[in-house]
Structure formats: C-alpha cells, structure tokens
Amino acid sequence: MVLPRFVFTASPRCDRVSRPAEVPDFRWLHDAATVPPMQLDGVFLDMYGTLTTGDKAAVERACRHLVADFGLAMTPPELAVFWGDRFFAMLEEASHARFRPLAQLECESLVVSMRELGISAEPEPYVRHLVDYWRCPPLQPETREVLAALPVPTCIVSNVDTDDLRTAVDVTGLRVGGTVTSEETRSYKPDAHIFEVALQRTGWRRDRVIHVGDSLHSDVGGARAAGLRSAWVNRAHRIHDVGTDEPDHELADLWGLLQLVASEVRARKLGT
C-alpha cells in the first residue's frame, strides 16, 4: 500500500520563555560541579517524555476526537494503544533506506489503524495534535534546574523531525549543547546509527557517555545496541512501553540523573 506524504505547516501555539539568568544554588552537591568530570564526557538525553511531559495527553486528545467523530466502540485510551501498536511496528522498519519522517509515520499508522476498524479517515487533523505537542511540549518540572546544574555537557538524541525539535528547544528555552534527530540521521532509536552520529558529532568517548530516556525499548534498548550505558527515567504516565531491556540505572525523575552524575564526579575526586 502506498500512502501519500503528509505535510504539516508551522502552527506555533506557545510563547517563547525567558532563559534562566543564573544557575540555581545546589548546596547539596557541595563542590562536585567544579571538579572536571573525568568519567563522563557527556550525557545524551531523550527529549519527549524525559525532558518534557509525555505525549499521552496529545495522543488521547486526538483519539477523543476520533472516537467522537466516527462513533468508535472503544475508549480514547484503548484507541491510543491500538494506534500505538501499529505506529511502533512501522517505526521499527523505518530506518535507513525505508526512512520516513515521524509525522508521516503517525499519519500512515493512523490510516492503517482506522482501516482495520472499517473507517476511512484523513489523518492530518488528528495528527496535528501530536505535531503541536512536539513543537511546544510542556517541560517536566525539574528539567530546567537539572540541566542548569549538570556538571557535564548534554546532547539531545530524539526520535523526532528536525524542525519540530528545533522549534521546541527554541520556545522552551532549553539549554543543551546540541541535538541529533531521527530525521537528519534517517535512524530511529533503538537503531544504533542515531547514537553513532551523536558520538561522531560530540567527539565523546563511547565508554564515557550515558544515555537517559523514558523508554525501555527506544532509549535503553538503543543505548545497549550502541554500546552505551543507560539510565531509565521510570515515570508513571507513559501510555505503554513495549520494551524489556534492562537499564544500567533506574531513576524516578531527572533529579536522580543529577545525583548519579555528581556521584561519579565525587568518586573521581576522591580517587575511588
């Protein structure tokens, strides 16, 4: 089946935020941030669901409209999982020569999902909810302070279209050292190539990088495929996670990352 290419024009819906003028005071870190972090060159960070809230609200909002518009005999959360299963199946096959942008995959998977339910639907109005979320996502409450206090460089490695991530970084005012997207690498996590490109761009050593994300499948599995350490941010509000990979570290939130990195810096300082 050949599906058309779907194009979404810019639709900014949130105001740009002011970047913090100064780094907050974290006395509980003592002087760890002043010590050169010899054990980590940097941290790779997933964007959506890790630095930002997850896409659950946007997906279920789209599904509420679909249920109402077509009188579907399922709840919006049920439709979200049904659509998500088909989306992730497509995503697994969409790297390298078969690459398509993320918005395209969302549209294609929604068309397939609705056809399985006996319905023909134009996907763009519903996928628009996801695109708006990608471009203007709410940050997790601790994100700004943690990024400001991390004593090592950071780089976002994200399954997202490049323009959407650039817009999100701009409107949220995130302070990160760089970004690498699936669109520019033609590789979706857990495929290892996106991480290889990130390593090449940053110049960081593989054994001195940790990747942090909220997906066992995409983030933990992808980091493992690339030979990187991983930290799983186990937040409670994902729609569902298809992964079973074991992370090197499990964190309740990004504060745990700050403690983890600081402990490595302290260990180096103390010679342990």
Q: Which superfamily does CATH assign the domain made up of 31-54+137-270 to?
A: HAD superfamily/HAD-like (3.40.50.1000)
Conformational region of residue 78, where left means phi above 0, alpha means psi within -120 to 50, and beta covers everything else = alpha
Distance CA 250, CA 246 (A): 9
pLDDT tens, position by position, 86-115: 999 999 999 999 999 999 999 999 999 999
Whether the predicted pLDDT of 255 surpasses 70: yes
Question: CB-based burial of residue 43 (10 Å sphere; 0-12 exposed, 13-18 middle, 19+ buried)?
Answer: buried
- The amino acid sitting at 94 is A
Q: Where are the domains of the chain?
A: 31-54+137-270, 56-134
User: SS in 3 state form for 50-75?
Assistant: CCECCCHHHHHHHHHHHHHHHCCCCC
Q: DSSP alpha helices (H): ranges in the chain? A: 56-70, 76-92, 102-116, 124-135, 143-149, 162-172, 182-185, 193-202, 221-225, 254-270
Taken in order 26, 137, 40, 204, the sign of the CA dihedral is: negative
Average of per-residue pLDDT across 20-27: 40
pLDDT band at 163 (very low <50, low <70, confident <90, very high): very high
Whether the predicted pLDDT of 38 surpasses 90: no
Q: What strands, in cross-sheet order, belong to the sheet with 42-45? A: 179-181, 154-158, 42-45, 209-213, 229-233, 249-251
Provide the pLDDT for residue 235. 85
CATH of segment(s) 56-134: 1.10.150
To the nearest whole number, what is the mean pLDDT of the chain?
87
- The amino acid sitting at 229 is R
pLDDT band at 237 (very low <50, low <70, confident <90, very high): low
Provide the pLDDT for residue 39. 82
Whether the predicted pLDDT of 165 surpasses 50: yes
DSSP 156: E
pLDDT tens, position by position, 173-232: 999 999 999 999 999 999 999 999 999 999 999 999 999 999 999 999 999 999 999 999
